[in-house]
Homo-oligomer: A and B are copies of this chain.
Amino acid sequence: MNDIKKDNTEEKILVAAQKVFIEKGMDGARMQEIANEAGINKALLHYYFRTKQKLFEAIFKMVFRNILPNLMEMVYSDLPIETKLERFIEGYIDMLWKNPFVPTFILKEMNRDPQFLATTIQGSGIRPDEIIAMFKREMEAGNIRKMDPRDLLVNILSMSIFPIAAKPLLSIMFFDSNSAEYSTFISNRKKTVKEFILNSIKP
């Protein structure tokens, strides 16, 4: 059967590496820090993941796979579009707010290797075409106004992701760095973003 020790250590490494990479980025992360965080030493790290690059790619894929989970539910469920959007926006903002460094991490490291990014997306289960097609159907059925469905998707993602990625900036600009106030601001956005979008796509 599967070896307990091995899985355990590999798991510990992945957790530690995820934490450090997300916080510091590929360039800022140190293998030593990851080893410390995992409670092992550096040589063992290289034993499991031969190079920093390979470890980084494993983490990037992991993080990316978790970054757009409930997006495809919009396609595969059979609810009215308003409900779909409501559920996605709410769930998505909630998820991001629990992992506030993830958006910046993805944006940061996205430019590193376009080929690697492409295969990562392909292996992630996201099917942009199907989301676009779903929006198109809703437009043709007259449930929402006609527009470029890609714009609609991008606008939803923008308004959900950006305010969390730009937290340090926005929280200074609007709330004098008061973290609690920024938290309620984001929480309220689960409602206001939904309204803003529904308002704009009324047929």
Q: List residues of A whose CB falls within 8 A of some B CB.
A: 24-25, 27-28, 101, 104, 106-108, 110-111, 114, 117-118, 121, 126, 128, 132, 145, 147-148, 150-151, 154-155, 157-159, 161-163, 165-166, 168-170, 172-174, 177, 185, 188-189, 192-193, 195-197, 199-202
Residues of B within 8 A of A166 (CB): 107, 110, 157, 161
Cα distance A52–B174 in the bound complex, in angstroms: 31
Q: How many copies does the complex hold?
A: 2
Cα distance A147–B198 in the bound complex, in angstroms: 14
Choose one: B117, B161, B202; the contact of A162 (CB below 8 Å).
B161
Residues of B within 8 A of A196 (CB): 147, 151, 155, 200
27 of the cross-chain contacts (CB-CB < 8 Å) are: A25-B27, A27-B28, A104-B107, A104-B108, A107-B108, A110-B166, A110-B168, A117-B169, A117-B172, A121-B169, A121-B172, A121-B173, A126-B173, A128-B173, A132-B174, A147-B195, A148-B192, A151-B189, A151-B196, A154-B159, A154-B163, A158-B158, A161-B162, A161-B166, A196-B200, A199-B199, A199-B200
CB proximity of A76 to chain B, nearest CB, Å: 18
